[in-house]
Amino acid sequence: MNINMKVRTAILCMTIFAVALTGCSIKKEKPEYKRDVFAMDTYMVLKVYDENGEAILESAEAEIKRLEMLFSVTDEKSDISRINGSGSAQVSEDTVKLVSEALVYCEKTDGALDITVYPLLREWGFTTGKYQIPEDKDITALLEGVDYNNVTVEDGTVSIKNGGAMDLGAVAKGYTSDRICSLLREQSVSSALINLGGNVQAVGTKPDGSPWKVGIEDPKDNSRIVCSLKIEDKAVVTSGNYERYFIGEDGRRYCHIIDPKTGRPADNGLVSVTIVGESGTACDALSTALFVMGKERAAEFLEKHTEIEAVLIDDDLRLYITDGISENVELSSGIESTVIKRQG
């Protein structure tokens, strides 16, 4: 081999090496940035795969804190406290949007979701931690004021009639996860997973292009999951009776989701409801509402609403999975399931 050939071979090798390197850099996964946030009375984990991850997480956390200050029922300066305090208040655009959207789901679920159950939550002690089983007459009296039709939204002002009080606890985290995911997409993030205390929402896929796997906790044993679910670009929201509850003097379990028809914690055959869909707000509203409806009514609702998917878990730990996601669910060992068929 003469010198000229050696040079040509070297150049060829370098070119191949350079092409290989470029190929590598295209395939190279984006770095993971992770942040834990405590807000809205819950632990949140944000994971973003992007070179600008740190700055993006900073803006996401600031947005969570901003929304928390608007929707909190305990902070007396929040939009919700100002509405509850004087019956009517001029509020931010986000509060107008969230209250309006929540009212749509109150109507759609025939009042299983009702943002005016707040006085009952307070009476049962869920807002104060001073848990008690109220007397029947107190429940009946407080139920008089529970009706989402008492809430109106007009020109940036939210009003509630008849001395009622509202609470957005059933939908606030869903709205927040929608906002965070839009914020991430605006910043060109193509891969992120956020978990706002049980409200999971994904942007795109995992950085390697495969779907995210989201586990659904075993309501009777938080050290394991009953199944995992493959998703892309979706929200997965769970409501259950196993995280916020108290055991009454009668030995029964009372959870923080109130049935607006009875004024008592919902106990209608389900221990957990997971809703999967495009909108975090819708999934949050419906996970709470279907928990209230209970097994039969929730299954009927799902038969009519094919735009959402669900995993219901009943008292016996049997899973009911809608047909649109049943193929994406992997059951843990010993777990039995039934598919809710909706097409043809």
Cα angle: 168, vertex 172, 178; to 5 degrees: 150
* 105/254 with CB nearer Mg ion: 105
Token couple for 130: 């001073």
Q: Which is nearer to Mg ion, 68 or 284 (CB)?
A: 284
* Nearer CB in complex with ligand ADP: 204/263: 263
In sequence order, the 6+-apart residues with CB closer than 8 A to the CB of 67 are: 94, 172, 175, 176, 179
Longest dimension (CA), the chain: 103
Residue 98 binding ligand ADP, by CB under 6 A: no
Q: Which span sits near ligand ADP by CB under 6 A: 28-36, 47-55, 137-145, 239-247?
A: 239-247
Question: Quick one: what does residue 321 bind among ligand ADP, Mg ion, none, with the CB cut-off 5 to 8 Å set by partner type?
Answer: none
Residue (205 or 241) nearer to ligand ADP, CB: 241
| Both tokens assigned to 172 | 């606030």
* C-alpha to C-alpha distance for 119 and 165, rounded to whole angstroms: 6
Closest approach, Cβ 220 to ligand ADP, in A, equals: 17
Q: How far is CA 344 from the centre of its chain?
A: 30
**Judged by CB under 5 A, how many residues of this single chain contact Mg ion?**
4
195/287 with CB nearer ligand ADP: 287
**Please, what is the minimum distance in Å from the beta carbon of residue 270 to ligand ADP?**
12
Which residue spans within the chain are E strands per DSSP?
32-39, 42-49, 88-90, 151-154, 157-160, 191-196, 199-204, 212-218, 221-231, 235-240, 245-247, 253-255, 258-259, 264-265, 270-277, 309-314, 319-322, 329-331, 337-340
Pick between residue 63 and residue 110 the one whose CB is nearest to ligand ADP: 110
Show the binding pattern over residues 273-292: x = contacts ligand ADP (CB under 6 A), - = does not.
-----------x--xx---x
Binding positions for Mg ion, 129-188, rule CB under 5 A: 170
On the CB side of 185, CA atoms within 13 Å amount to 12
Residues 261/111, Cβ–Cβ less than 8 Å? yes
* Residue 243 binding partner per list ligand ADP, Mg ion, none, with a CB distance cut-off of 5 to 8 Å that depends on partner kind: ligand ADP
Residue 310 sits in the site that holds ligand ADP (CB under 6 A): no
- Are β-strands 309-314 and 270-277 bridged in parallel, bridged antiparallel, or unpaired? antiparallel
Rounded Cα distance between 75 and 185, Å, is 30
Tokens standing for residue 329:
């669910």
Q: Cβ(274)–Cβ(264) under 8 Å?
A: no
CB of 71 to ligand ADP, least distance (A): 11
Smaller CB separation from ligand ADP, 56 or 312: 312
* 311, 299 Cβ separation under 8 angstroms: no
In angstroms, what is the minimal distance from the CB of 285 to ligand ADP? 8
* Residue 114 structure tokens: 């009702």
Which residues on neighbouring strands pair with residue 338, listed in sequence order?
320
281 interacts with Mg ion by CB under 5 A? no
Q: Which stretch binds Mg ion (CB under 5 A): 2-10, 146-154, 200-208, 279-287?
A: 279-287
Q: Which of 53, 145, 164, 198 binds ligand ADP (CB under 6 A)?
A: 198
Stretch that binds ligand ADP, among 29-37, 138-146, 163-171, 179-187 (CB under 6 A): 163-171
309 binds, among Mg ion, ligand ADP, none (CB under 5 to 8 A by kind): none
Closer residue to Mg ion in complex, CB, 50/167 = 167
Q: Which chain residues interact with ligand ADP by CB under 6 A? A: 113-115, 117, 121, 167, 169-170, 173, 198, 239, 243-244, 256-258, 260, 284, 287-288, 292
